Each structure stands twice: as structure tokens, then as C-alpha cells.
């Protein structure tokens, strides 16, 4: 049986997100449940009982279907299938890649955006636009001793395998709300922040710009840091930006994602200047982005305050956009994606993301 999902917009958002950011996981599912020789796989459609997969074997495109093992939201069910498949294939579920940093300096570059200047304990090999670290919101007493162990050395130990098997078993026994709480608990004190710039003779100096607001955990942590403090990140992430090298690009960014946009602009290779919609609740945060950060001919649209309706009206005036890229509040992200699906379906890629959720 293939019962259509009631919320079609949510379904399309999930398919887009999984196909853009979880291709390794989808591949693992397909290799385990459909064909072990699969080299690429994407989700084509989602139903209440399962998902349709388009996959490649021997350079030939094929179609398959995978049933969900339990009822629940599609994204959490698919990620369960992915972790289960990776575990059975002996792949590490935790793609950790730890970095340790000493705080060299902290300074506010706008009223609410703090810049952390960090010195890494080892060279950072990825000088990549959109490269981010998932920081643990804590301070360490000292730097750990250097190790020769690399990311490739990480293997799934016997005890880790038993532990993850138990977690996956427990996951199937919980209802949807408890599954969400369980997953949220794993990242409760972790936050992703983009490397605004990586520099130094040894590629070991990093700028990390953080928007501080209210009493959020990340803001309190960032504000508490001082010169000499030791901090760590537990994993890193490379935002896919190669698709920005051609076509008309529209950036939509608020205070949380504008550091990523400027990092991308510093490595701009597209002959066509972009459009930037810079969102901020306060006027002072607009000072973070200036024309000197942008390629010649860039159009900057600044929206301030309660900007949601003004943003949607502004989008109506922008035509012939090929790619959308950026980050905003999660529900606004859903509304903007819905707008583009309904009014500008010719867009080649929409990589706008929900960077945060209103509490």
C-alpha cells in the first residue's frame, strides 16, 4: 500500500533535505535493502508506509521501494534505516573529527556578533567556503596530548556496535515524541558555527563569528570565553557550494548565517554577481555586511525588524533566479521554499536551510 503523505510541503522539504545532505545515508539504505552494488541513490517519493528510491547500478538508473519498519515521521524513520544499514555494514555512525582550540581573542564586531579568534592545535586542512565546526559548549582544563590517529583510523569497535544496536532497538520501542527527545539529547550542548576565515602560516588560525542573543546556551558560552580558554569541536561539516559557480544566485541570510555567506563570497568564482537579502532584527547587525565583502555588481537588499511579510513581497520582485542559498529561522525557511515551489518552479536548486528554531 502507498498512502500519500497529507502534508505535501513537508514531504517535499524532507526529500530535498535528505537528497542534499544525507546522500551517504540513502546510499547505505539502498545497498542493504535493494542492491549492494548501488553507487548512487536518491529518494524519489515518500508515502506513509515507505519510500521510492532512484538508484544507479552499473551506470543504469533503476527504481526501488523500501518499506518503513515502524510508523512515524518520514525523516526520523529514514534516518533510523540509515543508521541500521551503516551499523550492519560496519560503518561508524559517529563521523567525529575532533579539533581543539585555544582562544586567542574575543571582540564584538557588531552590537551582538562576537568574533572568536582561535588557534587550532593542528593545521586545518580544509580551507573551504562554508566549512563549519560543531562546538561543545564547554571549556577544557588543558589541551589533550597530540595523537597520530586520523579520521580514517576510526573504526566501529565491538562495544560501540553493541551500544548502537541497543540504541536502535530502543528507538523502535519509543513513540515519535520520545524519539525526538532522544535524538535532541545527543546534541543538547553542541552547536555548529561556520569558520568565517581560516588563515595563518600553518592554517591554524580561525575566525568564528557568533550571533549572541538573549540567554541562549550558545550565546552564554560564547560570551563567557576569554583569552587562553581551551575549547573543542566534535565534528565538522562542509556546506556544498560548488553549485554556486554559475547561474544567478540569491542569498537569503539572517544574523546566524551571514558569516557563511561572507565566507562564500571571499571565494566567489561566479562571473554573475549575486543578490543578497540581508535580514536582521536590529539595524546595527546590518553593519556586518558591507559592499567591500561582495563582488562588483552585487545587489544588497536589507530588511530589518519583523521582516517576514516584507521578505515574501521582495521575492515577488526577483525573477530569473537559478539558485537560492542561505539560512533563516526554520518556519520561515519552510514558507520561503513553499513560495518558490508555487511561484518560481524553474529554480534549479534551493539550498536555503533552517538554521534555528523559535522557542
Q: What are 284-327's pLDDT values in tens digits?
A: 999 999 999 999 999 999 999 999 999 999 999 998 899 999 99
Domain shared by 112 and 215, yes or no: yes
Q: What is the dihedral of CA 127, 41, 334, 114, to 10 degrees?
A: -20
Question: In the chain, what is the straight-line distance between the N-terminal and C-terminal CA atoms, in Å?
Answer: 37
Domain shared by 78 and 188, yes or no: no
Q: In what order do the strands lie in the sheet with 349-356?
A: 299-304, 275-280, 249-253, 323-329, 349-356
Residue 125 maps to a domain: yes
Q: What are 180-189's pLDDT values in tens digits?
A: 787 777 778 9
φ, ψ dihedrals at 156, nearest 5°:
-80, 110
Q: What are 81-131's pLDDT values in tens digits?
A: 988 898 888 776 666 688 999 999 999 999 999 999 999 998 887 667 788
Residue 150 maps to a domain: no
Residue 281 maps to a domain: yes
Q: What are 187-213's pLDDT values in tens digits?
A: 789 999 999 999 988 899 999 999 998
Contact criterion met (CB below 8 Å) for 103 and 222: no
CATH number of the domain to which 65 belongs = 3.20.180.10
Mean pLDDT of the chain: 89
Domain shared by 201 and 313, yes or no: no
Q: Which domain holds residue 105?
A: 95-144+156-238
Domain shared by 39 and 18, yes or no: yes
Domain shared by 335 and 204, yes or no: no
**Number of structural domains in the chain:** 3
CATH number of the domain to which 307 belongs = 3.40.50.80
Residue 42 maps to a domain: yes
Residue 149 maps to a domain: no
Amino acid at each position: 500500500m502507498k498512502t500519500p503523505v497529507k502534508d505535501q510541503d513537508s514531504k517535499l522539504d524532507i526529500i530535498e533535505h535528505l537528497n542534499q545532505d544525507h546522500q551517504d545515508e540513502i546510499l547505505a539504505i539502498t545497498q542493504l535493502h535493494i542492491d549492494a552494488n548501488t553507487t548512487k541513490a536518491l529518494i524519489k517519493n515518500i508515502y506513509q508506509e515507505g519510500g521510492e528510491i532512484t538508484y544507479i547500478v552499473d551506470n543504469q538508473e533503476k527504481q526501488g521501494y523500501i518499506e518503513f519498519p515502524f510508523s512515524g515521521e518520514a525523516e526520523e524513520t529514514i534516518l533510523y534505516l540509515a543508521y541500521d544499514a551503516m551499523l550492519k555494514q560496519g560503518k561508524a555512525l559517529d563521523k567525529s573529527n575532533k579539533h581543539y582550540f585555544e582562544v586567542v581573542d574575543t571582540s564584538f564586531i557588531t552590537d551582538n556578533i562576537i568574533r572568536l579568534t582561535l588557534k587550532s592545535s593542528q593545521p586545518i586542512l580544509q580551507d573551504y567556503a562554508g566549512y563549519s565546526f560543531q562546538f561543545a559548549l564547554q571549556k577544557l582544563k588543558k589541551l589533550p596530548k597530540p595523537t597520530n590517529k586520523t579520521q580514517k583510523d576510526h573504526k566501529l569497535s565491538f562495544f560501540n556496535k553493541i551500544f548502537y544496536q541497543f540504541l536502535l532497538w530502543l528507538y523502535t520501542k519509543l513513540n515519535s515524541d520520545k524519539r525526538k527527545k532522544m535524538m535532541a539529547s545527543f546534541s543538547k550542548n553542541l552547536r555548529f558555527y561556520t569558520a568565517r576565515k581560516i588563515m595563518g602560516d600553518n592554517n591554524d588560525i580561525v575566525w568564528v563569528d557568533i550571533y549572541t542573543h538573549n540567554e541562549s546556551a550558545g550565546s552564554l558560552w560564547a560570551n563567557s570565553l576569554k583569552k587562553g580558554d581551551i575549547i573543542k569541536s566534535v565534528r565538522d561539516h562542509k556546506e556544498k557550494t560548488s553549485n554556486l559557480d554559475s547561474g544567478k544566485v540569491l542569498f537569503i541570510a539572517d544574523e546566524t548565517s551571514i558569516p557563511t555567506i561572507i565566507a562564500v563570497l571571499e571565494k566567489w568564482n561566479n562571473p554573475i554577481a549575486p543578490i543578497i537579502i540581508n535580514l536582521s532584527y536590529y539595524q546595527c547587525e546590518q553593519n556586518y555586511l558591507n559592499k567591500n565583502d561582495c563582488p562588483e555588481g552585487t545587489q544588497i537588499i536589507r530588511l530589518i525588524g519583523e521582516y517576514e511579510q516584507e521578505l515574501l513581497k521582495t521575492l515577488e520582485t526577483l525573477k530569473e533566479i537559478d539558485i537560492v542559498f542561505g539560512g533563516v529561522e526554520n518556519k520561515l525557511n519552510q514558507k520561503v521554499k513553499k513560495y518558490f515551489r508555487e511561484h518560481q518552479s524553474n529554480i534549479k536548486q534551493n539550498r536555503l536551510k533552517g538554521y534555528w528554531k523559535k522557542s
